[in-house]
């Protein structure tokens, strides 16, 4: 890759980065001018992102905007707080190989960790980091960002896809997922909650991250500060409810997204409170009353959406998400559905926590 991207050195070490469900990711170190520099090379998944050039146009604009703002505020350690794209030899933010595959390269950020399960304090700083990131993008100028995946959070469309997969059942798996299918069908009405509120103008479109999974934030290994928001592929127009939802979905349960022991899968209200405080604290200057009102319902909807996406992919033979066992997507689906049950049972308490956070922040800004 060194001869393809603007890297002037000799490869000394390479490894595969696992964790993401979508791209193939490699970490490579090069000896450049007597120093070891490390980069992240990613082969873009074209099954998922069908227009990599537009995708990289978005990413380039987003990182340039965030970087310019960090520089203007003279922030310390700026290079570790936003991703740095390395251009190819022609100056493009991607390189197309002989097979027609698209590659991109970022500078590796040193001394960071990611987490799949978090404590209260990590949840607070991570939620604040995502809110802050979106705040930085609210004044991005120029044309509307491209929709890198059409209908990404269109839950009714996701539900239709599930129905098609159930009807076609190409891998004869529907029988093994009867309980989950019934669970999804029984809740089909919730699918349109966010799309209707957006269509009626209640919820404003904003640039949001759209995939605020806990493992999409890099923490400083020593201070545990949430340093850098990553995975910018779905930064595009959307709803703040989507971002809050994925924070809740991926942080409040004391277990991983594919945990099979469902007793360990539930919304821990203390962590939910930390997420609410962190996110609202960093977004209070621009969130509307309506956006606040849809945070808790949105968390349930997007958890539902994620669950039915896993279920659909299971029925379709695991064509989308990376899996390491045949029931992996079904296990992930069960996990999300258990989380929904926990949210349904604790909904009033969650609403009360959000209201408390709002009061606290408005009273003591
Ligand atoms: C995917 O790429 P990753 O693993 O951060 C997916 C998200 C899902 C998530 C579920 C582009 O995120 O939408 O919520 O898996 N990203 C895409 O774990 O589909
Ligand atoms: Mg990711």
Pocket-testing residue among 211, 305, 306, 319, ligand 1, by greatest number of atoms within 8 A of Cβ: 211
**Span 332-344, mean pLDDT?**
98
Give the chain's mean pLDDT: 96
Task: Look up tokens 């604009």; give the residue.
Answer: 61
Burial (Cβ within 10 Å: 0-12, 13-18, ≥19) of residue 216: buried
Domain ranges of the chain: 10-110, 120-360
Residues, beta carbon < 5 Å, ion ligand 2:
20, 216, 231
State in Å: Cα 21 to ligand 2 middle: 7
Helix (H) or strand (E) holding 36: strand 35-43
- Given a cut of 70, whether residue 364 has pLDDT beyond it is no
Nearest atom in ligand 1 to the alpha carbon of residue 231 is: 5
Nearest atom in ligand 1 to the alpha carbon of residue 216 is: 5
Give me the count of residues in the chain.
Answer: 365
Pick one of 3.30.200, 3.40.1350, 3.30.530, 2.40.10 as the CATH number of 10-110: 3.30.200
State in Å: Cα 171 to ligand 1 middle: 23
Q: What is the pTM of this model?
A: 0.95
Residue 299 pLDDT level (bands cut at 50, 70, 90): very high
Nearest atom in ligand 1 to the alpha carbon of residue 257 is: 18
Q: If you take atom 7 of ligand 1, which residue's CA is the nearest one?
A: 211
Burial 317-353 (b: 16+ CB within 10 A, else e): ebebbebeeebbbbbbbbbbbbbbebbeebeeebeeb
Compute CA distances 125 → 133, 151, 177, 352, whole Å: 12, 30, 37, 21
Residue 95, Ramachandran bin (φ over 0: left; ψ between -120 and 50: alpha; else beta): beta
Residue 139 pLDDT level (bands cut at 50, 70, 90): very high
**Span 322-350, mean pLDDT?**
98
**Span 73-83, mean pLDDT?**
91
Q: What is d(CA 210, CA 49) in angstroms, rounded to the nearest whole number?
A: 14
Residue 365 pLDDT level (bands cut at 50, 70, 90): very low
CATH number for the segment(s) 120-360: 3.90.1200.10
- Given a cut of 50, whether residue 229 has pLDDT beyond it is yes
Q: Among positive and negative, which fits the CA dihedral 49, 52, 56, 58?
A: negative
| 101-110 pLDDT per residue, tens | 999 999 999 9
- Given a cut of 60, whether residue 363 has pLDDT beyond it is no
Tell me what pLDDT residue 18 has: 81
| 2-39 pLDDT per residue, tens | 789 999 999 999 999 887 888 999 999 999 999 999 99
Determine the longest span between alpha carbons in the chain, in angstroms.
Answer: 62
Q: Which of 219, 261, 260, 6 is nearest to 113 (CA)?
A: 219
Report the percentage of the chain scoring pLDDT > 90: 95
State in Å: Cα 213 to ligand 1 middle: 8
State in Å: Cα 211 to ligand 2 middle: 7
Ligand 1-lining residues (CB < 6 angstroms): 20-22, 48, 211, 213, 216, 231, 233-234, 257, 306
DSSP state of 48: T
Ligand lying closest to the C-alpha of residue 45: 1
Residue 227 pLDDT level (bands cut at 50, 70, 90): very high
């Amino acid at each position: 890759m060194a001869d393809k991207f603007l890297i002037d050195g000799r490869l000394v070490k390479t490894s595969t980065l696992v964790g993401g469900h979508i791209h193939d990711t490699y970490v490579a170190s090069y000896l450049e001018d007597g120093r070891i520099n490390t980069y992240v090379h990613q082969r873009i998944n074209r099954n998922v992102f069908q227009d990599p050039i537009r995708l990289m146009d978005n990413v380039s604009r987003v990182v340039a905007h965030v970087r310019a703002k960090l520089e203007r505020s003279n922030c310390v350690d700026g290079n570790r707080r936003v991703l740095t794209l390395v251009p190819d030899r022609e100056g493009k933010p991607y390189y197309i190989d002989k097979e027609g595959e698209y590659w991109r390269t970022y500078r590796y950020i040193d001394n960071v960790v990611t987490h799949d399960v978090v404590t209260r304090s990590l949840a607070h700083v991570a939620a604040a980091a995502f809110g802050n990131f979106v705040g930085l993008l609210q004044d991005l100028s120029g044309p509307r960002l491209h929709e890198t995946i059409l209908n990404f959070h269109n839950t009714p469309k996701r539900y239709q896809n599930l129905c098609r997969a159930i009807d076609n059942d190409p891998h004869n798996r529907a029988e093994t997922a009867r309980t989950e299918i019934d669970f999804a069908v029984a809740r089909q009405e919730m699918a349109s909650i966010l799309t209707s509120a957006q269509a009626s103008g209640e919820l404003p479109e904003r640039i949001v991250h759209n995939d605020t999974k806990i493992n999409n934030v890099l923490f400083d290994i020593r201070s545990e500060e949430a340093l850098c928001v990553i995975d910018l592929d779905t930064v595009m127009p959307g709803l703040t409810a989507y971002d809050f939802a994925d924070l809740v979905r991926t942080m409040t349960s004391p277990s991983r997204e594919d945990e099979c022991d469902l007793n360990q899968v539930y919304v821990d209200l203390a962590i939910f409170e930390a997420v609410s405080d962190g996110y609202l604290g960093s977004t209070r200057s621009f969130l509307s009353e309506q956006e606040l009102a849809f945070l808790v319902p949105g968390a349930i909807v997007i958890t539902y959406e994620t669950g039915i996406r896993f279920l659909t992919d299971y029925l379709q033979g695991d064509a989308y998400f990376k899996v390491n066992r045949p029931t992996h997507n079904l296990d992930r689906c069960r996990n999300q559905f258990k989380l929904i049950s926990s949210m349904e049972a604790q909904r009033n308490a969650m609403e009360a926590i959000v209201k408390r956070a709002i009061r606290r922040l408005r009273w003591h800004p």
